[in-house]
Amino acid sequence: MVLLFHTIALLLLLLSDSVSSQALTLNIRDNGKICSQWVKPGANGQFSVSYAQQPECISAVAFEQANGQARLCCKGMPLTTPPASFPKECGKQLYQPLRQRIIGGLIAHPNSWPWQVLVRGANNMCGGSLIDERHVLTAAHCIKSLVQVNDYKIIIGAHEINKPMYMEQELTVSKIWVHEQYTASTTANDVAVIRLTNPIKLSDKVNIICLPGAEAKSVNDTVWVSGWGRTAHNGDTSPILKQTYMQTMGTKCSTYGAASFNEEKQICASQHGVGYTCQGDSGGPLMYEYEGRWYLNGVVSYGPTDCGVGTGLPSVFARVKYYLSWIRSKMASL
Residues annotated as catalytic (active site), given as ranges? 141, 190, 282
The span from the CA of 268 to the CA of 275, in Å, is 9
List the one residue out of 130, 140, 153 whose CA is nearest residue 192: 140
Helices and strands in the chain, H and E counts = 1, 21
The span from the CA of 314 to the CA of 320, in Å, is 18
Rg over alpha carbons for the chain, rounded to the nearest Å, is: 21
Helix, strand, or coil (residue 327): helix
Residue 17 Cα distances to 4, 33, 51, 160, angstroms: 12, 27, 12, 35
Other beta carbons within 10 angstroms of residue 222's beta carbon come to 15
List the one residue out of 282, 278, 272, 286 whose CA is nearest residue 124: 282
